[in-house]
Structure 1
Amino acid sequence: MSEDGMVYEELAPISQSAAEAALASGDGPTIGRALLRLALHGPDWRVAEQQALRHLTHPDVWVRRNAATSLGHVARLSREIDVDSVVPALKALLSDPEVGGFAEDALDDIEVFMGVRWKNGR
C-alpha cells in the first residue's frame, strides 16, 4: 500500500493472444487491465488504440475510464495516434460525470505529447 492508502498493481506486458482472451472475458476489471497493459507495453500502438476506442462505451465505468486513460498512454509512449478518431471520441466523453475527467486527462496527454490542441483558445 502506498502512502496515500492506494493499492497499485504493476501492469506487466501482455501478449496479443492473452489480450484478446482478456478483452473477450466479459469481466470489467480484466478488460480494464488488458487495455492498460496493451497501451503501456503492447507491440502495436494501433491495436491498443483500436481496443481502447472500442471500449469507450462499455457499460462498466472503470473499463471506460481505463479506455480513456489508455489512449493518453498511447499518445505519450508512442507519439502516435489517429487524431481524427481519438480526439472526437474523447471529447464526446467530457460531459460524462463518471468518465469526463479521465477523457480530459487523455486529451491533455495528446496535446502535450503530440501538439494537438483540443480546446479553443489554447
Structure 2
Amino acid sequence: MSIPKKITLAELESLLKSDDEQVIIEALMFIAFNIDNPQWIQEKCIALVYSDKSLNVKGLAITCIGHAARIHGAIDEKIVIPLLIELTKHQDLSGRARDALDDIEQFVENG
C-alpha cells in the first residue's frame, strides 16, 4: 500500500483504525514523517498504545511519539512522559518507551 501525499487527517485516522496491521504500520510511518502536527500525532499514537492492536503496532506508536519529539521538538510532556514511564515496566515495550523518553530528553526543550 502506498499512501498518497495528499491525504486528509480523517483518511489517515481511518487507516489507523484498520484491522490490517500492515495498513496501520504504514499509516503510522506516514504520519510520523509527513504530518506537521505533533499534537495530532501524539494523540493518535497514544490511542494506539491503549488499543487492542498488536504489540508491533503499539511499539511503533511509541517509537512514533519519539519521532514526533525529535522532528518537531514538541510533545505534551504532562501526558506523554507518565505514559512512557509506565510503559518502561512492560516487558515487550520497555525498550521502545526508553528510546522515546531519550528522544524527548534530547530534542524537546525542557524535556
Same fold (TM over 0.5): yes
TM-score range, shorter chain: 0.7 to 0.9
1:30 has 2:23 as partner: yes
Counting only pairs closer than 5 Å after superposition, residues 54-65 of structure 1 correspond to structure 2 as: 54-59=47-52, 60-65=54-59
In structure 1, stretches of 5+ residues that fail to align are: 1-9, 118-122
Cα RMSD, aligned residues only: 2.1
Moved more, 32-41 or 14-23: 14-23
Q: CA deviation at 1:112?
A: 0.5
Cα distance in structure 2, aligned partners of 1:115 and 1:20: 28
Percent of aligned pairs with the same amino acid: 29
Residues paired across the two proteins, number: 108
Query: Which is richer in helix?
Result: 2
Q: Which has the higher contact order (CA 8 A, sep 6+)?
A: 2
* TM-score, normalisation: structure 1: 0.78
In structure 2, stretches of 5+ residues that fail to align are: none
* TM-score, normalisation: structure 2: 0.84
